[in-house]
Structure 1
Amino acid sequence: MPVAHLAALIAICVIWAGNFIAAATAVRSLEPVTFTVLRFALVLALLAPFLRLPRRGQWLNLLTACWCMGALHFGLVFVALDRSADISSVAILMQVYVPISTLLAVVLLGERIGWRSSAAIALAFAGVLVVGLDPLVLAQLDVLALVLASAFFLALGTIFMRRVQGVGLFSFQAWNALLSIVPLALLAAWMESPVERVPTVALDDPAWPALAYSAIGASIVGHGTFYWLVQRHEINRVTPYLLLVPVLAVVMGMLVWGDRPGPRLLLGGLLVIAGVLWVTLRARWRGRRTVEPETAGPQA
């Protein structure tokens, strides 16, 4: 991978890690579902020109992917950040979406995994159990449940996104925002009274730059750059670097948010990251075994 591409990939990790800080900052002033609605509204305003009608027969896959990866995933994780006393546990626990995605691929797509991948998944979930025994996490089990539910819906949305054909990245992000806004806006109106609350947030409140960072930086720039990279490199060559995200998020949480992760949280986080890395590398190895015989041939 060229140095410039590697630098771009590391920059994505920094941006996505910073998004945990940005979201936690925003939900101090904006209620979490309202923040999610405003985030999607900004994304939609910027990406509306990219909206394209999907191919016939793609609506169910697109709608399911958008509701899972958009409304449910982001709504739940932002509520979790609003309720959580720390950022580190949320950032670590979110990584279980990778082994959950693998399990869902087995159940829904009929994919097969061996004992090594199964052991990696077990290791990641063992890490979740260790994290759950941390005193801070035990004191906020609702946050643990919210993050695990968010990770599940992200994984499920990823499965359905793989079925969507003929929809570009920016078009998908625009549809994701458009289709997520309506149910989230109704939920916010029912639970949070955003019409009364939002006008009371001062223009110089840090929630507004945090909102811009989350929508523009993490979503449009981050995902756009990542898509640009996976068009030029094998996805299994790129994804292992994404394990820097929870590590950087923990560091940022300690430096910026004042997190003080305990030994169980750190040990559990290490097990989760090790399991996710193992799953990712196994997927990369299986991909090479499938592709290499087909691409072998004379070299120019």
Structure 2
Amino acid sequence: MRWEGNRESDNVEDRRGDDYGGGGGGGFGFGGRSIGIGTIVVALVGSYFLGINPVTLLNLLSGGGGQVAPVQQAPAHRPPANDQMARFVSTVLADTEDTWTGLFRQSGRQYVNPKLVLFSGATPTACGTGQTATGPFYCPGDQRIYIDLSFYRLMQQRFKVSGEFAQAYVIAHEVGHHVQNLMGISGRVDAARRRASEAQGNALSVRLELQADCFAGVWAYHADRARNILEQGDIETALNAASAIGDDALQRQATGHVVPDSFTHGSSAQRVRWFRRGIQTGQITACNTFEAQQL
């Protein structure tokens, strides 16, 4: 992926090394829900590192728990200029800013840039205490994306997924959730989930996540045409990432069997299909998973 020398975002906060405490198992009661790249990834990582039952984590992360009050956050500071991975994340975030600002302008709307927070261990958010074990996630309450960069090492070691564009896809997916928030989509889905059964709520979550995958593809389509960021093999690495974190692949890895009614993010084939649709069309309207007859 070609990114060095491109603009870096000013919207990155570095909280790594800050002592927020809050570690320990079970502290995942996000208000309403936070939207992450893989709810079952959360359960796998939590069970792997913290010794927590994955089913317990899944129950907590799928919308259970009460509302939480906004938290007092420490003053933000930028990452060091010589931190290569932070520079990469800042550059990818800037690229999403440029792309979505243009797309929103075309439709007569104004794009509001999200903040991206780098943290380690735990950090306060408007959705509760963010933990390393949750993986990257977006919090609608403060319009921030949270990521512990050790997740990229986990991608490579546990899921055998590597490559800078695969890492960029992770950020672009979470930015896709921010786009959904600005468009009012995630709010409508959350309201519908509160009225739905568990299985119906899971099905709505799948459509929300697949749309975020498609939006990640839309970003890549426009970013490549504007700034020529893609190199040979990049798209394949992102497709590999989408496939590796499909609900069926993760459930099979964790338990040896698949329970489709419990899916919250979509199967490997679905995630690949919708990311591919976004990157092939570049059209927001092509990402309407909620009216699709077949996912």
TM range (shorter): 0.3 to 0.5
- TM-score with structure 1 length normalisation? 0.33
- TM-score with structure 2 length normalisation? 0.34
Of structures 1 and 2, the larger Rg is shown by 1
Q: Which has the higher contact order (CA 8 A, sep 6+)?
A: 1
Higher percent of residues as strand: 2
